[in-house]
Amino acid sequence: MKVLIPGALRSYTEQSEAEASGATLAAVLADLDRRYAGIRFRIIDEQDRIRRHIRIFVNGAQVRELSQPLAPSDEIVIVQALSGG
Long-range contacts of 63-69 (CB under 8 A, 24+ apart): 63/25, 65/25, 66/24, 66/25, 66/26, 66/29, 67/24, 67/25, 67/26, 68/24, 68/25, 69/23, 69/24
**For position 85, what pLDDT does the model report?**
56
pLDDT value, residue 69:
97
Beta strands in 1-85 (DSSP E): 2-4, 17-19, 54-58, 61-63, 75-80
The answer to whether the beta carbons of residues 56 and 77 sit under 8 Å apart is yes
pLDDT tens digit at each of 85 positions of the chain: 999 999 999 999 999 999 999 999 999 999 999 999 999 999 999 999 999 999 999 999 999 999 999 999 999 999 988 765 5
Taking the C-alpha atoms of residue 72 and residue 47, their distance in angstroms, rounded to an integer, is 27
* Architecture of the domain defined by 2-80: Roll (3.10)
Q: Domain residues of the chain, as ranges?
A: 2-80
